[in-house]
Structure 1
Amino acid sequence: MHSSSRFRGGVVSGVLAALGLLAAGCGSSLKEQDVDLAGLSGRTLLYTHADVDLFELEQAAGSHRVTVTFSQAGGDVCTRLNEGVTATFNGEPMQVERGGVDGTAGRDLCLPTRAFLDYDPDEWAALPPTDARVVFQDGSGTTITVVMKEAQAKRSFDGVSDVQRLLRGQSYSYQWMPSTEKLESAGATLLAEGSAVTATLTTTRDGGRITFTVPPNLGAATHLLTVKGQVQGEVLECTGVTSCSGTYFHSEEQVVSVQ
């Protein structure tokens, strides 16, 4: 699950876009406000699951990560969570980022309050899909909980890792796993060796299956195939906040010969 240096430029930019690693939200006069966990009760929680398998490259930071993010206060107020709050994922400690104003970029950025866990994809692949319970707690007894159905699971596209050759003009289909989940969005690209131009393929979705056709006019060469998709997570429990939602994203790469 790595990415060859032959394709590295395209891969790294794609991973950053997929994981949403760039900070958002700025202002010149943000007011920072410290809050306890109870002070976040009026917010919403977003659960995101990143599962990015790269070909022949050391795993990029955040490529296999669960993140739970509180919505922002809005306006010119930027809240920072008090110290002492803990978060766990099925009992395992998560790293808590308190949020607040960050001015290191030359302008004020309002960083969100969130917690994340980097997981071992091989370890998760060996386990059956399991519900994910994330619990925030502080010393006052306040608890915020979100439970996502079968969120602790290794996603994949069945067959992508086995493909060695693609024929121009031919169509190919791959099934999202677990097969019980329905794709909300999906896509596929081809990046020729030594090229900086990525060919975006026309795709269709049918439940959890993605189908694409290799362009007939595509040059015969070695390419990096990337297949990606996202499903909407099912919330089983949401307590202590206004609402919870979640998505599971997966992409994987394979070097193929286009003929």
Structure 2
Amino acid sequence: MIRSCPLLLSSPLVGVSLLLSGGLAGCGGRTEATSVPLAEFASRTLAYTLVDTDLLETPDAAGSHRFTVTFSQADRGCTRLNEGVVATFNGQPMNLNLGGVPDTEGGRDSCEQTQAWFNFEPEVWAAEPIEDIRVFLEEPAGTDTVSLILRRAKTKRRFAYQGAGSGTTLRRGQTYSYRWEPEEEVPGPATVTLLREEGRAPATLEVTQEGGAVSFKIPSATPPAIHLLRLLAITPGEVAECEGVAKCEGSFLHSSDYEVNVAQ
């Protein structure tokens, strides 16, 4: 039996618009998701993101050390990955959101993308050798697989202070340098900000960058006080393998926070 939903349309054009947008997928203004196998992802994009943020104020913030893969949705409609698919990160289980429509009460539902993520311990990564990131999604029977391998991407990134002393005291008008590690990576343009203790708006400093070497001058007008120094940069990953999807694209983001005393 085919069930129908009662629908009153003010004009035929409204009906056509709703059909093309998927607005008639469910009754009562609710979106419905179609369950699909992993093979359905062959025409989609896999977007990867590695977030590695060393925060002083909220060091244990959710997602501050996380690797995520997100799959684009179908051209039309809302889809949900079939139950039973397993996602792994270098052999360890990943959290997996199958996508589709979340089970919420009331209102029009949104469509979530299929996503898998892995939270890592930065101290553990810092003590381990650099290696590839290997992500696999597999059907229960092993018939279909999505694989992503990023060359030498599993490593703890940081900005290392270059110069005499510990770098905890910075003087106005002086230039200081930090280097992105691992040195074999060349990050994109770095951003450096300085936020005075109990201040509201950080100052963005002018940066000189050569490869992974980042230099900046402390402005002469900076008030002597304790400041939060933040260095941030993004680097693209090197994809060694991308199978089971149309393409893989993404980047790695790292930021380092330092408490510094700005002196005259």
* TM value normalised by structure 2: 0.81
- Of the structure 1 ranges 200-209 and 90-99, higher mean CA displacement relative to structure 2 is found in 200-209
* Contact in 1 for aligned 2:31/2:108 (Cα 8 Å): no
- In the TM superposition, residue 32 of structure 1 has moved relative to its aligned partner by 2.3
Q: What amino acid is aligned across from residue 53 of structure 1 in structure 2? A: D
* In structure 1, distance between residues paired with 2:114 and 2:214: 35
- Of the structure 1 ranges 96-105 and 211-220, higher mean CA displacement relative to structure 2 is found in 96-105
- In the TM superposition, residue 205 of structure 1 has moved relative to its aligned partner by 2.4
Equivalent residue, structure 2, for 1:234: 238
Say if 2:204 is the partner of 1:196. Answer: no
CA deviations over 1:45-77 (Å, ceiling 9, x no partner): 1121111112264411111111111122245x2
* In structure 2, distance between residues paired with 1:220 and 1:189: 16
Equivalent residue, structure 1, for 2:62: 61
* In structure 2, distance between residues paired with 1:185 and 1:111: 32
* Contact in 2 for aligned 1:188/1:200 (Cα 8 Å): yes
* In structure 2, distance between residues paired with 1:249 and 1:105: 37
Within 5 A, what are the aligned runs for 1:121-132? Answer: 121-132=122-133
Equivalent residue, structure 1, for 2:223: 219
Within 5 A, what are the aligned runs for 1:144-163? Answer: 144-159=146-161, 162-163=166-167
In structure 1, stretches of 5+ residues that fail to align are 1-26
* In structure 2, distance between residues paired with 1:104 and 1:229: 40
Within 5 A, what are the aligned runs for 1:94-109? Answer: 94-102=94-102, 108-109=109-110
Equivalent residue, structure 1, for 2:187: 183
Say if 2:169 is the partner of 1:168. Answer: no
What do you get for the CA RMSD once the two structures are aligned? 2.2
- Of the structure 1 ranges 225-234 and 31-40, higher mean CA displacement relative to structure 2 is found in 31-40
* In structure 2, distance between residues paired with 1:175 and 1:187: 13
* Contact in 2 for aligned 1:87/1:134 (Cα 8 Å): yes
- In the TM superposition, residue 115 of structure 1 has moved relative to its aligned partner by 0.6
* In structure 1, distance between residues paired with 2:190 and 2:160: 14
Equivalent residue, structure 2, for 1:22: none
* TM value normalised by structure 1: 0.83
* In structure 1, distance between residues paired with 2:124 and 2:252: 18
Q: What amino acid is aligned across from residue 245 of structure 1 in structure 2? A: E
* Contact in 2 for aligned 1:183/1:205 (Cα 8 Å): no
Equivalent residue, structure 2, for 1:24: none
Equivalent residue, structure 1, for 2:18: none
Taking a change above 3 Å as real, the CA distance of residues 185 and 73 of structure 1, as seen in their structure-2 partners, is: farther
Instruction: Number of aligned residue pairs: give it.
Output: 232
Equivalent residue, structure 2, for 1:243: 247
Larger Rg: 2
Q: What amino acid is aligned across from residue 118 of structure 1 in structure 2? A: N
Q: What amino acid is aligned across from residue 256 of structure 1 in structure 2? A: V
Q: What amino acid is aligned across from residue 93 of structure 1 in structure 2? A: P
- Of the structure 1 ranges 121-130 and 47-56, higher mean CA displacement relative to structure 2 is found in 47-56
- Please state whether the residue corresponding to 1:136 is helix, strand or coil: strand
Deviation above 6 Å: which 4+ runs of structure 1? none
Taking a change above 3 Å as real, the CA distance of residues 162 and 112 of structure 1, as seen in their structure-2 partners, is: farther
Equivalent residue, structure 2, for 1:6: none
Taking only the aligned residue pairs, the percentage that are identical comes to 44
* Contact in 1 for aligned 2:38/2:81 (Cα 8 Å): yes
* In structure 1, distance between residues paired with 2:107 and 2:228: 37
* In structure 2, distance between residues paired with 1:119 and 1:126: 13
By percentage of residues, which structure has more strand?
1
* Contact in 2 for aligned 1:183/1:209 (Cα 8 Å): no
* In structure 2, distance between residues paired with 1:71 and 1:167: 48
